[in-house]
Amino acid sequence: MVSLLPFAFCLLTFFSMIVMKFGGTSVESASAIERVAGIVRSRLERRPVVVVSAMGKTTNKLLAIARTAVEGHRKEAIQQIHELRDFHSHQARQVVSLAERAELDLLLDEHFQELTELVKGLSVLGEATPRSIDAISSYGERLSSHIVTRALRHFSIDAVHVDSRHVVVTDGRFTQAAPQYGLTYPKLKAGLLPLLEQGKVVVMGGFIGSTEEGVTTTLGRGGSDFSASIIGAGIGAEEIQIWTDVDGMLTCDPAILPGGRRVKVISFPEAAELAYFGAKVLHPSTLLPAMDRNIPVFILNSRDAGCEGTKILPQAPATSNLAKSIACKKNITVVDISSTRMLMAHGFLHKIFEIFDRYETPVDMVTTSEVSVSLTIDKTDRLEDITRELSRFAEVRHENRQAIICVVGDNIRYTPGVAGRIFKAVEHINVRMISQGASLRNVSFVIQESDLKPAVQALHTAFFSQLDPEIFA
């Protein structure tokens, strides 16, 4: 007998769908969740899938509870669990109907009892494995997704909860798991499309998935954005909306330099460069599934739903501005590796990067000569081990409290003299390393962290004094 299931799925995808991801600040309280309900209601005809982060700083609190338990302070850790339960209960009861409160209390009891048992286990063992950290940190999204589902129902929206762990399959790299797209996409279609066809709003937790064996994993901090993109690509969404607490991508990081202008439209490659080099509004991996399926991504403000935000497209419109934004990465360490013994020697770079790979330490920037290599890292927990191994064949020095500045724009690759303009603007600041990305869309350099604000200010004046109104707001 021939299966009609693939044909049925083709029929189901004739209607449009969107994915709406709401970050921690967008669901941090009862009033924030009520705003989310209003935003979702205004888009019901587009058949939304709602993806939520943990409420407020819940993930940080869960990780702090785990640390407290590992340090042997069991009673204190359990008290922190009670406080976290009280927070969720207090906020949820304001946006959940009376009819569902008994079920909500049962749900909270079940989840926090599981969490308490896990934390007791940590206090006995005195250590936390990556697998146990994923199990504990997953509770934020598991709780928030259940609460938001019930809140949407309270506001007369036909919402249904889907556990992300049942449809997002990852590898076993706990705390930094990678999605297995070939397994995930069919599960997403089978699990979500029939519900969407019935007119239901699907609510899911971001950040979490599971291995093929059903063990809970997480996609890394900020991974809810990534989840939204995976889900959007898996179901063939018309667009992916990332709802946060800012108006969109800006020409500079407001934490470094207030007064940046909103970027109305930007290309996938530009946005990816900015995310990787420190633009906090997007998780660096977010765009990969969306880019693969050419699905537009919107950055929107849940506190100002009328703002049009930033639209990220496969290709942005032409503009007269050379740059789109200035990204920054603080807390950078520069590692200098040199060895005259390696002059003209084969395999010098291979030996270096094999060590960084073995200790799972990503490298951001690299500059080289025949006998030396300088590179930057932002993860230093294995630096002592890395230095010990490198010292077997080279001299190693490292310098902390550095920062990367990255000037990004499609026009950089087509315009001569851009580097000259950049370094003319920061001529009063000592530049430690210089690199141009392989995409030719960015010029990056390293300076002392203490020089970051004046450098960004000088660059912003040089590149954003006059703005194309089609591109910037």
Q: In whole angstroms, how large is the CA radius of gyration of the chain?
A: 24
Structure tokens belonging to residue 22:
């709401």
Complete DSSP assignment for 94-126: TTS-HHHHHHHHHHHHHHHHHHHHHHHHHHHH-
Task: Please name every residue paired with 241 in a beta bridge, in sequence order, or none if there are none.
Answer: 20, 298
Please provide the distance, in angstroms rounded to a whole number, between the alpha carbons at the two ends of the chain: 58
Angle at 16 between CA 14 and CA 20, to 5 degrees: 145
Q: How would you list the strands of the sheet with 372-377, edge to edge? A: 366-368, 372-377, 325-338, 395-408, 442-448, 433-436
Q: Residue 396: how many CB atoms within 10 A of its CB?
A: 18
Residue-level pLDDT at 286: 84
Round to whole Å and give the CA distance between 463 and 473: 15
Residue-level pLDDT at 4: 44
Cα 23 to its chain centre, rounded Å, is: 10
Residue-level pLDDT at 1: 41
Round to whole Å and give the CA distance between 281 and 250: 9
Residue-level pLDDT at 5: 44
Residues near 344 by Cβ (< 8 Å), separated by ≥ 6?
370
pTM, rounded to two decimals: 0.88
Residue-level pLDDT at 13: 53
Round to whole Å and give the CA distance between 137 and 58: 9
* Domains of the chain and any CATH numbers: 19-245 (3.40.1160.10), 325-463 (3.30.2130.10)
| 186 CB-contact burial (10 Å; exposed 0-12 / middle 13-18 / buried 19+) | middle
**Sheet strands (E) in 302-440:** 310-313, 325-338, 366-368, 372-377, 395-408, 433-436
> Are the beta carbons of 151 and 95 closer than 8 angstroms?
yes
Structure tokens belonging to residue 283:
């998780």
Outline where 243-315 has alpha helix (H). Answer: 268-276, 287-293
Q: How many residues does the chain have?
A: 473
Structure tokens belonging to residue 157:
């929206």
Structure tokens belonging to residue 377:
């890292």
375 φ, ψ to 5°? -145, 165
Q: pLDDT digit of tens for each residue in the chain (473 aa)?
A: 444 444 444 444 567 999 999 999 999 999 999 999 999 999 999 999 999 999 999 999 999 999 999 999 999 999 999 999 999 999 999 999 998 999 999 999 999 999 999 999 999 999 999 999 999 999 999 999 999 999 999 999 999 999 999 999 999 999 999 999 999 999 999 999 999 999 999 999 999 999 999 999 999 877 999 999 999 999 999 999 999 999 999 999 988 999 899 999 999 999 988 888 877 788 778 889 999 999 999 999 999 999 999 999 998 899 989 999 999 999 999 999 998 766 556 778 888 999 999 998 999 899 887 778 999 999 999 999 999 999 998 999 999 999 999 999 999 988 888 889 999 999 999 999 998 866 688 999 999 999 999 999 999 999 999 999 999 99
